[in-house]
Amino acid sequence: MSSPSSILDMLSISPPGWGGVLITGAFATLFISFGAYLFGMVLGLFGALGKLSGFAPLQYALNVYTTIVRAVPELILIVSLYYAGTDGLNRILAMAGLGPVEVNGLVAAIAVLGFVQGAYMTEVLRGAILAIPVGQLEAAKSFGMRPGLRFRRIVLPALIPNALPGFANLWMSVIKDSALIAVVGYQELALAARVAASNTKQYMVFFLAAAALYLVITILSNLLFSALEAYFRRGQRPVA
Amino acid sequence: MDFSWIFEYQDLLLYGAFLTCLLLTISVTLGFALAILLAIAQVGRGSIARWLSKSYCTFFRGTPLLIQLWLIYYGLGSYLPHIPGLRSSFLWPVLREGLFFAALALTLNFAAYQGEILRGAMLAVPKGELEAARAVGMSPWMILRRIWLPRAIRIGLPTFAGEVVLQLKATPIVFSVTVMDLYGAAYKIRQDTLLVYEPLLLVTVFYVSLTFLITQGFQKLENAIPVRR
């Protein structure tokens, strides 16, 4: 064990200290998570609309997607998609007569995590859309709103409060899942902490520091989501 | 697709599957026991106990399992040899293994999620039933044992099934602390044979089948306990 002052030295932002590496890692974690979250949300929106479209082959394909992604351990999904994605891309490029590319770790991480998020988002959004009272949609139809306008003016504003609790859970889970990216070697917060810890042999200090950074992120996100939900539920009657 | 390696690595795979099941069983049973204490602390009157339990749940639910695992394996593990007498004690062969730290991390993590669910379930038990129990003269301990906990567990049962499946899906990361569980076995096969997809596909089938068994088992359990609707 070492004295408190040397621990502070090790955590200082500027280079002999490793604080800067950890902070950079935390931003990488936030960036990956946010990118994957947005990508997942887009996938999920199309997935939910597809599942509710009534077109059987599409519904079947989407059911396969959501079931498999939710049944297979995240680590296995991330590792296999990471390799399969890079491999598949290079095969397509080879067929087009181009040489192989080194896939950017950041892009791969966002794509892989986003693909996993998309399956959960599909279910959250499907539930949120189904929870909209049918009468509201019928009223919009009877006013002569076209599907596009109806979606933008009625469905979207009505589904957001229903979907927010699910969105909050998924944001927490993508932050924690992003640590798994460390296993395939992209340096975000978890891997940054590991590098710092193995260089200084102060495992306890650096993993606790990383845990503290994750906690700050999750606690602040919690506050943000409560505020968002209060905002989007304005004017609604409180439940019970 | 080439699966000719299966027989060569049969023992490794079977042992890996055994370790995965062992880790799941240990962390779910011990974690559940700890979760009961956490939930009681949070619905009880002691403000220190409530605060401790709340902070525990916030920490373990707010940080990634991977960090907790590394914190326990590398962090705690680096202090253990300095405790006098521990090295020569009979516990040392167990404490030296990655398996011990993996089981510890998974248990502590599971307890935090499960404790929060159980707390909600305990609060969902109808007040009238607890009052009735008090009215017939049961002591607080007996109310807890005979009425409050059994009712809460029944209420939370559908959620527990989901938690156990999530726990199963969390186990593969123990390979990062040298535990040769099923995923660890697949990882080693990949390194030896340079086959990427086949070993992963095989273990995926195992995880998905085990998920199916767990959900079926909980369904049976739910049906076995009669409820009035």
B203 touching chain A per CB within 8 A: yes
Q: Which helix (H) or strand (E) holds A173?
A: helix A156-177
Interface test with chain B among A67, A183, A207, by most B beta carbons within 10 Å: A207
- Determine the pLDDT at residue A11: 67
Listed residue (A67, A72, A180) closest to B169, CA to CA: A72
Q: Is the pLDDT of residue B31 over 70?
A: yes
Amino acid A104: pLDDT: 76
A&B contacts, CB < 8 Å: 103
Residues of B in contact with A87 (CB under 8 A): 196
A197 and B CB contact within 8 Å = yes
Could you give the angle at the alpha carbon of B57 between the alpha carbons of B176 and B55, nearest 5°?
115
**Minimum distance, in Å, between the CA of residue A159 and any CA atom of chain B:** 24
| CA gap B182, B19 in Å, rounded | 7
| Structure confidence at residue B119 (pLDDT) | 92
User: Which A-chain residues 45-104 have CB contacts (< 8 A) with chain B?
Assistant: 71-76, 79-80, 83-84, 87
Q: Is the pLDDT of residue B156 over 60?
A: yes
Specify the residue for token string 């947005």: A38
> Is residue B170 less than 8 Å (CB to CB) from chain A?
yes
- The pLDDT of residue A217 is 93
Looking at residue B75, its pLDDT comes to 85
DSSP letter, residue A178: G
Sorted by where each begins, the domain ranges of chain A are 4-232
Looking at residue B59, what is its pLDDT? 93
Q: Pick from B130, B149, B134, B187: which is nearest to B39 by CA?
A: B149
Sign of CA dihedral A37, A41, A44, A46: negative
| Beta carbons of B68 and A211 less than 8 Å apart | yes
Of the ranges A180-184, B176-180, B205-209, the best mean pLDDT one: B205-209
- Residue B207 is nearest to which of A72, A179, A182, comparing CB atoms? A72
Residue predicted with more confidence, A89 or B123: B123
Indicate the range of A197-206, B2-11, B39-48, B105-114 predicted with least confidence: B2-11
The verdict on a CB contact (< 8 Å) between B66 and A71 is: no
- Comparison of pLDDT for A150 and B9, the residue scoring more: A150
pLDDT of residue B228: 66
**Mutate which: B57, B58, B70, vs A, most A CBs within 10 A:** B70
Over residues B100-125, the mean pLDDT reads 93
Fold of A4-232: MetI-like fold (1.10.3720)
B 206-225: CB under 8 A from A: 207-208, 211
Q: Look up the CATH number of domain B14-182.
A: 1.10.3720.10
A109 touches chain B (CB under 8 A): no
Q: Would you state the pLDDT for residue A239?
A: 59
Look at A193 and B67 and tell me if their CB atoms are within 8 Å. Answer: yes
Determine how many CB atoms are found less than 10 A away from the CB of residue B43.
17
A182 at interface of B, judged by CB pairs closer than 8 A: yes
Per-block mean pLDDT, blocks of 10 residues, chain A (240 long): 64 70 89 94 93 88 89 87 79 78 80 91 91 90 91 89 89 91 84 87 87 93 91 74
Q: Look at residues A142, A172, A131 and name the one whose alpha carbon lies nearest to residue A48.
A: A131
Across the range B47-71, mean pLDDT stands at 92
Q: Does pLDDT of B136 surpass 90?
A: yes
Burial of B60 (0-12, 13-18, 19+ CB in 10 A): buried
Task: Measure in Å the smallest separation between the Cα of B70 and chain A Cα atoms.
Answer: 7
Q: Is A54 left (phi over 0), alpha (psi -120 to 50) or beta?
A: left
Average pLDDT for residues B128-141, to the nearest whole number? 93
